[in-house]
């Protein structure tokens, strides 16, 4: 392994030297609570919900993967645009997110049933401890941009969240975000 560098714009999060991985709405079936609103949007449009960068480093416990995540502003029904959310396959590995721009938060829960929501605003670092599934949510009107770092061997378990959902939803209530129980949470 040799040292290297990579650029990520401090405001937009975008890199001039690397392609991002894109998640348009059509790739998020089953993720949003309001299935009807989800289908209605898709009939006329397939908006980009978020994008992020994936590095190709050896997946060892001594390497770190890093990049930016950009969640665009928007809602499906009353639920804000957000990432799919995932556990790490190696559950005992944490992750660091540093917010560069935008407004939102990180929704987290662990298999033991603890959950938490930490707000993002520019300059705020959020620590996702080992064992916590994590999902970035944009509650503002600008893109939510974070810089993340995690162990290269951690891996992504998207399936658990796709199957069970999150215990909580973050929804818009008259212009403010509110955290509510997920009525469709599948224990």
Q: Smaller CB distance to its own copies: residue 112 or 181?
A: 112
CB of 21 within 8 A of CB of 83? no
Query: Would you say how long the chain is, in residues?
Result: 187
DSSP β-ladder status, 87-88 and 156-157 = antiparallel
Q: Smaller CB distance to its own copies: residue 84 or 124?
A: 124
CB of 137: closest distance to its own copies in angstroms?
A: 14
Give residues in contact with its own copies (CB under 8 A).
Answer: 1-10, 57, 60-64, 66, 90, 92-96, 98, 100, 106, 108, 114, 116, 118-119, 122-132, 147, 149-151
CB of 150 within 8 A of CB of 65? yes
Angle at 162 between CA 87 and CA 175, to 5 degrees: 90
CB of 7: closest distance to its own copies in angstroms?
A: 5
Q: Smaller CB distance to its own copies: residue 48 or 91?
A: 91
End-to-end CA distance of the chain: 43
Q: Smaller CB distance to its own copies: residue 105 or 165?
A: 105
């Amino acid at each position: 392994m040799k040292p290297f560098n990579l650029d990520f714009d401090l405001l937009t999060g975008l890199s001039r030297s690397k392609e991002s991985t894109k998640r348009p709405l059509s790739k998020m079936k089953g993720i949003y609570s309001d299935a009807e609103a989800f289908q209605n949007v898709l009939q006329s449009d397939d908006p980009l919900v978020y994008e992020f960068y994936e590095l190709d480093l050896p997946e060892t416990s001594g390497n770190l993967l890093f990049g930016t995540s950009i969640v665009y502003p928007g809602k499906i029904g009353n639920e804000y645009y957000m990432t799919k959310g995932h556990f790490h396959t190696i559950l005992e590995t944490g992750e660091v997110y540093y917010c560069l721009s935008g407004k939102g938060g990180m929704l987290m829960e662990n298999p033991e049933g603890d959950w938490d929501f930490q707000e993002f605003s520019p300059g705020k670092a959020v620590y996702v401890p080992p064992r916590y599934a994590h999902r970035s949510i944009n509650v503002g009107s600008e893109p939510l941009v974070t810089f993340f770092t995690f162990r290269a061997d951690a891996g992504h378990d998207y399936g658990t969240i796709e199957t069970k959902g999150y215990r909580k939803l973050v929804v818009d209530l008259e212009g403010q975000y509110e955290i509510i129980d997920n009525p469709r949470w599948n224990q």
